[in-house]
Amino acid sequence: MRQEQTVLLNEKAYLTAVYQRYAPALFAYLYRHADSLEDTEDLLLEVFQAALEREGFEYLSAKEQEAWLWCVARNKMVDHHRRRVRRQGIPLDLVPEDVYEPDRETPEVILLRREKYERLHASIRRLPAVQQEIVHLHFALGLRSAEIATVLHKSEGAVRVMLSRALKLLRKIYESE
């Protein structure tokens, strides 16, 4: 038989490829709903471990794999919140959003000492909340519109329009210079 054909995705490489394809968007989703980066990492790991435990995951088409991973991620998030509620005994509604805010902002603070970025940052803060979120997902997590759409439960077209609007608004600071 011919020996030329070579293999590129053995099992581990296949796992890595699947991970790298879907992890960023799942990470964004989990991070958006979990409390901390540490919890997000644990949850993301659990999602992929569940995929490893599912027999014949490799058989699924890419779309089915994606849908399956998202389904697991959503269930994990529900579990996570239930657990958290049980552990801490605090209703979710009472957990102030901004408790976790400084964690997200810390790295930026360093840069914000520079006036230019301060102005840009201030402009981002003035954007509607959903546009801020989209800009954050696009630039900080590197997601494309289609992936952002899945994370935010919106259509891709809507995300593109909002990202487009946000960038055009932000561009105004440079145009007015």
Partner 1 sequence: MPAHNDPFFPHRVDESVEQLASTNPFDNVTDAQPSMDVNERLVHDMQKLYSLERKRYQRALQRVEDRLVAHYTTSSDGHSAPAPIPDREARRVSEQIRQGRFYQMENRQRSKFGRRVGLLVAALVMVVLVGSMLLVLNATHQKAVQHPGTTLGAAHNSSTTAHFGQTLYTTPGSSAGFQGLSWSPDSKRVASLTDSVQIWDAITGAHRVTVHLPTGSWPYALAWSPNSQLIAIGTNNSLVIADGQSGAIVHSFAVNSSASTQNNLSASYLFTLTPNGGGLGVRALAWSSDGHSLAISISHGPTGSLEVVNAQTGAQDYTLPVTGNYVATALAWSSDGKYLAGNVFNTQPGAQTIPAGEQKMVWAWNASTRQVIFKQTGGNGTGDPLAWQPGSDNLAFVTGVPGKGGTTSALVVWNVATNALVKQYPVAAFGPVAWSPDGKYLAYGGFASQGTASIVGILDASSGEQVYTYKQMHINISALAWSPNGKYIVSGEGNSTGDMVAKVWTAE
Residues 89-148 that bind partner 1 (CB under 8 A): 104, 107-108, 110-111, 116-117, 120-121, 124, 135-136, 138-147
For residue 27, count other CB atoms closer than 10 A to its CB.
Answer: 21
Please tell me the distance from the alpha carbon of residue 40 to that of residue 69, in angstroms, as a whole number: 15
Nearer to partner 1, 83 or 95 (CB): 83
Nearer to partner 1, 95 or 146 (CB): 146
Q: How far is the CB of 64 from partner 1 (least distance, A)?
A: 7
Q: How far is the CB of 10 from partner 1 (least distance, A)?
A: 4
Q: How far is the CB of 152 from partner 1 (least distance, A)?
A: 14
User: Up-side HSE of residue 167: CA atoms within 13 Å toward CB?
Assistant: 10
Selected binder of partner 1 within 49, 71, 78, 128 (CB under 8 A) = 49
Considering only the stretches 44-52, 88-96, 125-133, report the one whose residues sit in contact with partner 1 under the rule CB under 8 A: 44-52
Please tell me the distance from the alpha carbon of residue 147 to that of residue 25, in angstroms, as a whole number: 6
Please tell me the distance from the alpha carbon of residue 85 to that of residue 40, in angstroms, as a whole number: 17
Nearer to partner 1, 59 or 94 (CB): 59
Measure the CA angle with vertex 89, ends 85 and 95; round to 5°: 70
Please tell me the distance from the alpha carbon of residue 159 to that of residue 155, in angstroms, as a whole number: 6
Selected binder of partner 1 within 19, 68, 70, 100 (CB under 8 A) = 19
**Distant-in-sequence, close-in-space partners of 130: CB < 8 Å, separation ≥ 6:** 152, 162
- 58 near partner 1 (CB under 8 A): yes
Range 146-175, binding partner 1 (CB under 8 A)? 146-147, 150, 156-157, 160-161, 163-164, 167-168, 170-171, 174-175
Nearer to partner 1, 53 or 93 (CB): 53
Summarize the chain as % helix, strand, coil (round to 5).
80, 0, 20
